[in-house]
Chain A
Amino acid sequence: MQTVIDNFGLLMRGLAVTLQLSALIIVIGTTIGVFGGLGLLYGPAIVRAILRGYVDIVRGTPLLVIIFLIFYGLPALNVDISGFGAAVIAFSLFAGAHVSEIIRGAVAAVPKGQTDAAKALGLTFWPRIGSIILPQALPIILPPWVNTAVEMVKGSSLVVLVSVSDLMFATVKVAERTGDPMPLYITAAAIYIVVNLAISRFGVWLERRISYGVPV
């Protein structure tokens, strides 16, 4: 226990990196996902084909393979990239593919009559999506989206393999140095659980906030 207390500052600095990385991944991944999901449904044939390829390939590839492909692949193409940068790109591509599919499915589940009614009022594409379709898709999007966010926080621990000094990295280093791994890994696990519980609670709160009237 003393090792944990002695190295708490290091662990917290690691946690800060983990949170920063996770937040970036979730924001970028969600942005990719919104446009990806809408593109899969409403894009011209060529855009749909490209997005379908992206989503299926990324979803069928282990995350670690994507991370290594970016981390070792980009320097091979003479693109300088830090471990952190490679991790952000790899995770965002990964999250983006998953969120694309989530949003595509949720938007497709909104009854077609809603689009008809919105069009009949004279709404163009983006107002229709923003005011009519997405608000109805949101309750369907939220649970799997929260799930993806949690997966990304947990998955971010993989960045130790490209030497990003996140929570996992700090834990591993301190454990090696002190030769007292158990309390450290238990502490790391507890921190991950707390962060993910917080995300889940936030999701539930959001779900409550956006639910309306009586279910239709």
Chain B
Amino acid sequence: MATARTTTSPREVAAGSSGPMVRIENVHKRFGALEVLKGVNLDVQSGEVVCIIGPSGSGKTTLLRCINFLETYDEGRIYVDNELVGYAERNGRLVPAREKEIARIRAETAMVFQQFNLFPHMTALRNVAFGPVKVRGVPKEQAEQRARELLARVGLAEKADAYPGQLSGGQQQRVAIARALAMEPKVMLFDEVTSALDPELVGEVLAVMQDLAASHGVTMIVVTHEMMFAREAADRVVFMDGGVVVEHGPPDQVIGAPRSERLRTFLRRFTTA
């Protein structure tokens, strides 16, 4: 939790000014005695598409969840658009931010989950329009109009009135992407969004994400095991292992010419599969 920590580099940069869209500085995270993140450093530029790869248990999900503060972090700093996530600085110390502040930053960092997590008691349309209405105060008609456009963009215009339970996994995940887009976030976080899908449904979701990545309208941080997707869509690939970033760089370099033995070992699984 937020134990008292001293400031190493006081930042007084206002939101919206230049700097990376996401800055992760020396972030540590422990679950009890288990240290899951051991000093992660990563900058993501505005509009950049970053894919994070790495073996299971390396801390990828935990890192994403720290970025929108679904998990607290124990050391280091995370900034989204130059705003410190989850904490406020007082007299050089970090204290937990207020609930409203945390919620405000979360609204800027949309997340798409492995298990979709659509709201089962709402139609697809309502799932997508809900956030803008409830959080941003957008008038209902306007939000639903926009929701219909977004559902059309993910190829589900005709499913607006369906409940999540009536949709396939791939369709649900596309609704979830539309729900995230509806918030017009600065950053979108994707956590293995195709891992829970039947193989034949993976393609339709990846196609939507590929389209999104190509538009470069939004900063994307994508945890994935889809190496083809990483190669084609990412500006940069980050390899995590054991709670740290081991290598990062352009996809051709990281996937095509891995430098570390750990990454070579990791990638071998995909070439033989």
Residues of chain B contacted by A116 (CB below 8 angstroms): 70, 111, 113, 117
Q: Are B111 and A120 in contact (CB under 8 A)?
A: yes
Beyond A120-B68, A214-B163, is A113–B117 a contact (Cβ under 8 Å)? yes
Extra contacts besides A114-B117, A121-B135 (5): CB < 8 Å: A113-B117, A116-B113, A119-B106, A124-B100, A216-B164
CB distance from A43 to the nearest CB of B (A): 15
Residues of chain B contacted by A156 (CB below 8 angstroms): none
A211 to B113, CA, bound (A): 25
* B interface with A by C-beta (< 8 Å): 68, 70, 99-100, 103-104, 106-111, 113, 115, 117-121, 123, 130-131, 134-135, 162-166, 179, 183
Beyond A120-B70, A124-B99, is A214–B117 a contact (Cβ under 8 Å)? no
A-B CB contacts (within 8 Å), total count: 76
Beyond A136-B121, A213-B163, A214-B165, is A121–B183 a contact (Cβ under 8 Å)? yes
Residues of chain B contacted by A111 (CB below 8 angstroms): 117
Q: Are B120 and A216 in contact (CB under 8 A)?
A: yes
Interface residues of A in 89-138 (CB under 8 A from B): 111, 113-114, 116-125, 127, 131-132, 135-136
Residues of chain B contacted by A136 (CB below 8 angstroms): 119-121
Q: Are A131 and B103 in contact (CB under 8 A)?
A: no
Identify which of B99, B104, B121, B183 contacts A212 (C-beta below 8 A).
Answer: B121
Q: Are B107 and A122 in contact (CB under 8 A)?
A: yes
Q: Which residue of A lies closest to B114 (CB)?
A: A113
Residues of chain B contacted by A214 (CB below 8 angstroms): 163, 165-166
A215 CB–B CB distance under 8 Å? yes
Closest 4 pairs (CB-CB, A-B): A213-B163, A122-B107, A214-B165, A117-B117
Residues of chain A contacted by B130 (CB below 8 angstroms): 121, 131
CB distance from A168 to the nearest CB of B (A): 41
Chain A interface helix/strand/loop/mixed: helix
Interface residues of A in 175-216 (CB under 8 A from B): 212-216
Q: Are B164 and A131 in contact (CB under 8 A)?
A: no
Residues of chain A contacted by B179 (CB below 8 angstroms): 121
A62 to B43, CA, bound (A): 62
Identify which of B107, B111, B115, B165 contacts A213 (C-beta below 8 A).
Answer: B165
CB distance from B83 to the nearest CB of A (A): 14
Beyond A116-B113, A213-B163, is A124–B103 a contact (Cβ under 8 Å)? yes
Q: Are B134 and A127 in contact (CB under 8 A)?
A: yes
27 pairs, CB–CB < 8 Å, chain A vs chain B? A116-B117, A117-B111, A117-B119, A118-B119, A119-B103, A120-B70, A120-B109, A121-B183, A122-B103, A122-B104, A122-B107, A123-B103, A123-B134, A124-B99, A125-B99, A127-B134, A135-B121, A136-B119, A136-B121, A212-B120, A213-B121, A213-B165, A213-B166, A214-B163, A214-B165, A216-B164, A216-B165
Q: Are B135 and A123 in contact (CB under 8 A)?
A: yes
Q: Are A213 and B120 in contact (CB under 8 A)?
A: yes
CB distance from B110 to the nearest CB of A (A): 7
Q: Which residue of B lies closest to A215 (CB)?
A: B165
A116 to B130, CA, bound (A): 15
Identify which of A114, A120, A212 contacts B106 (C-beta below 8 A).
Answer: A120
Q: Which residue of B lies closest to A135 (CB)?
A: B121
Residues of chain B contacted by A114 (CB below 8 angstroms): 117, 119
Residues of chain B contacted by A122 (CB below 8 angstroms): 103-104, 106-108, 131, 135, 183
A135 to B119, CA, bound (A): 10
A216 to B131, CA, bound (A): 21
Q: Which residue of B lies closest to A110 (CB)?
A: B120
Residues of chain B contacted by A127 (CB below 8 angstroms): 134
Residues of chain B contacted by A119 (CB below 8 angstroms): 68, 70, 103, 106
Q: Which residue of A lies closest to B118 (CB)?
A: A117
